[in-house]
Chains A and B, each alone.
Chain A
Amino acid sequence: SQQGEEDPQALSIQEGENATMNCSYKTSINNLQWYRQNSGRGLVHLILIRSNEREKHSGRLRVTLDTSKKSSSLLITASRAADTASYFCASSRNAGGTSYGKLTFGQGTILTVHP
């Protein structure tokens, strides 16, 4: 399956600044999720936004979804050094049966937050 695109590929900021990452996908979706991955570790689920939602908040995270442009953005406000990680978007298509839940991951953004 083709993967979506994310930009930037790498982002370096200072603590306290906001970090914005963008993601594009190729097909119509049921929902889009954002994950975080520390180096060499598993995935941590951050937030899910459904196709009929435009914006969602969770703590310092804000996610937007524009289905007309097939794009999403993740904003992390007041970043901390501990936010340093790779961030991936993953889209879930409108597929039924056992294909339900298949995720297509974006290329990811490597975020570095300097103390």
Chain B
Amino acid sequence: GAVVSQHPSWVICKSGTSVKIECRSLDFQATTMFWYRQFPKQSLMLMATSNEGSKATYEQGVEKDKFLINHASLTLSTLTVTSAHPEDSSFYICSAREQILPYEQYFGPGTRLTVT
């Protein structure tokens, strides 16, 4: 099956710094990728839809200036958490949707972000 990777798998950063998380579709092209956030013992919440070559679409309540998304190619989307704070500590998961029918969606393994 198709593979989606995320890098890094975990990261610890200091409060006030920025962190970039990469999501790559390894063996297929993805016009659309999705970014989710998951707090401990909770479900996944969609943060934004990343569209190759255009601006991301953010869900209500998600600060677009804090969570910068760039989808510069058909295989790579990045999420940058700017000026991170401890409350941004979470598990960030991306998914990538195939361009062709039936538009299967594949999830990455997630990135654990801890802000100290």
Contact = CB atoms under 8 A, between A and B. Distances in A.
Given A98-B32, A98-B57, A1 B107 contact: no
Given A99-B49, A101-B97, A42 B107 contact: yes
Given A3-B45, A40-B91, A42-B93, A102 B34 contact: yes
Interface string B39-63: 0011111100101000001011000
Interface of B: 31-32, 34, 36, 41-46, 49, 51, 57, 59-60, 91, 93, 95, 97, 103, 105-110, 112
A105 B110 contact: no
The 8 closest A-B pairs by CB, nearest first: A42-B109, A43-B107, A105-B44, A105-B43, A101-B97, A42-B110, A108-B43, A107-B43
A43 B93 contact: yes
A104 B46 contact: yes
Interface residues of A, number: 22
Interface of A: 1, 3, 35, 40-43, 45, 88, 90, 98-108, 110
Give the interface SS of chain A, mostly helix, strand, loop or mixed: mixed
B17 to A, nearest CB: 23
Contacts of B36: 105
Contacts of A106: 43
Contacts of A41: 109-110
A108 B34 CA distance: 19
Contact of B49 (A35, A88, A102): A102
A3 B43 contact: yes
A99 B97 CA distance: 11
A42 B23 CA distance: 13
Contacts of A100: 32, 97, 103
Nearest to A35: B107
A98 B41 CA distance: 29
5 contacts: A42-B109, A88-B44, A101-B97, A103-B44, A105-B44
